[in-house]
Amino acid sequence: MRLVSIKLSALKQFSLCAIFLIAAPAHSACVVPDLAAPLEQQLSLLGDCQRNPAYLAQVGRLLIQNGRYLDALDHLERALMLDAEQPAVQLDYAIALAGTGDILSATLLIDGILAQPDLNPRVRDTLVRAKQRFVRTPTAVLAGAASQPFALNLSANLRYGHDSNLLGAPALSSIELTFPGEVVQLPLSPTNAPRPGHYLRTDFKLELGRQYEDGSRWELATNLMSRTSPAVPDANTRQAEVVLEYSQPQLNSWGRYVGANLVTITTDGGTRYTTQGLAAGLQLSALAAALRSTCSARLGVELHRSDLISNPILSGHYAGITGLLACSAPTGVQWQVSAKGGRDFAQDADRPGSTQNLNSLRGVAMVPTLAVAGTLLLETEYTRTQDSTSYSALLKNGEPRRTDRLTGRLEFQRQLSAKATGTLGVEWSSQDSNLSLFQVKSWGPYAALRLLW
């Protein structure tokens, strides 16, 4: 499933903004070249033919023959978005999925096509043979290209944007302190107010995966991120992340997964933070016939240890449960819903608030657009935390802290070439709390460019 690994921090320069304002060329402007024409020549026509399903399907098949399965998926998805009733293109899409190692989704997609009562008998025979070949050789590619034991993907992201609150500060001019028998208003320095500014963010990502004949899979992902803001140097941030996962999915039955991650964050403001995590549980892949989609579900446990090196008293370790449901259709429509709940236990008995309950709900949706060739992405997450004891006797007479945080982003993504995707987006965050010190809001637009190789 492609959506399960949705990590679309796409990035781009503002000079590309005008590209998104140009509507995709009309279907009639495209002349589909002969199948024998070189692949690069056919790709050069993408600007004129990106709304022609015959062209997109043809290029998708040629990309499969050249072993470029991820690129093929993008073209075939758009072909099916424009004309979903194409069993031959759906078969090519299944082949591309198999080429990326996603055998379960490929098999489920073929099962969905075979379930159509009016399917041409010849097409049905071809699909049955394709499914049998997937079962015999999970990494098989019907086009005949040699399969690789490892799948390696590299990407770079550049994003330039504006943030209304780079340091995540509350918008307060004073804070109310509660002493026995009286309340005192303490003025705050203007230097503590929210500070807006532009920023440049860069991400470099490496993803390495290996699929085995029994359907099990190892995946390693690393990401290096840097964000700089000349107006607010303390907000300059560097982050490194490594994720390793082993999964053994089962078709229409529960398999298992186990993973580990490591994250380190440093800022020029002095913050130093690391977290190490483990996750394990069950996962299920199946065909949702009513949705004409392949879906994946997970249910498991998570353990995390978080160390705030710059302020150790705030460190903790988390234990909780997590669940996820994700679905993907050949037309490119994808969505995901996940939830988790657990407790963050203080490592230091003197940590303000002590043990904290944490619950969150997250949703992601990707929908291709027809008026202008591209994809809309909407992501939102709600998180509630509740301390078990007083955060401070001076804040609301020692009332335990509660926070409700809502974050989100809306993006329009457009493929500029076979290896480049541009994005325009806006993101926002709003945190409410019974303690005014933790009421924080921010938002900002951005433009981005993502490069693959």
Q: CATH for 31-136, among 1.25.40.10, 3.10.105.10, 3.30.70.60, 3.40.50.150?
A: 1.25.40.10
β-pair partners for 283: 255, 298
Domain ranges of the chain: 31-136, 164-368+383-399
pLDDT tops 70 at residue 29: no
Give pLDDT tens digits for 72-96: 888 888 888 777 777 788 888 888 8
CB 438 within 8 Å of CB 139 = no
- Identity of residue 214: D
CA distances from 321 to 60, 278, 431 (A): 40, 12, 23
Tens-digit pLDDT profile for residues 355-411: 999 999 999 999 888 767 788 999 999 999 999 999 998 898 899 999 999 999 999
Mean pLDDT of the chain: 83
Lowest mean pLDDT among 9-23, 88-102, 209-223, 347-361: 9-23
pLDDT tens-digit readout, 107-138: 777 777 777 777 777 777 777 776 666 555 44
* Pairing relationship of beta strands 182-187 and 197-211 according to DSSP bridges: unpaired
Q: Residue 423 to residues 17, 30, 158, 211, 258: CA-CA distances in angstroms?
A: 9, 25, 10, 31, 33
pLDDT at 48 over 70: yes
- pLDDT at position 7: 32
pLDDT for the residue 122: 76
- Which of 442, 401, 410, 406 is closest to 235 using CA atoms? 442
Q: Hey, what are 345's tokens?
A: 């236990």
* Sign of the torsion formed by the C-alpha atoms of 303, 309, 310 and 314: positive
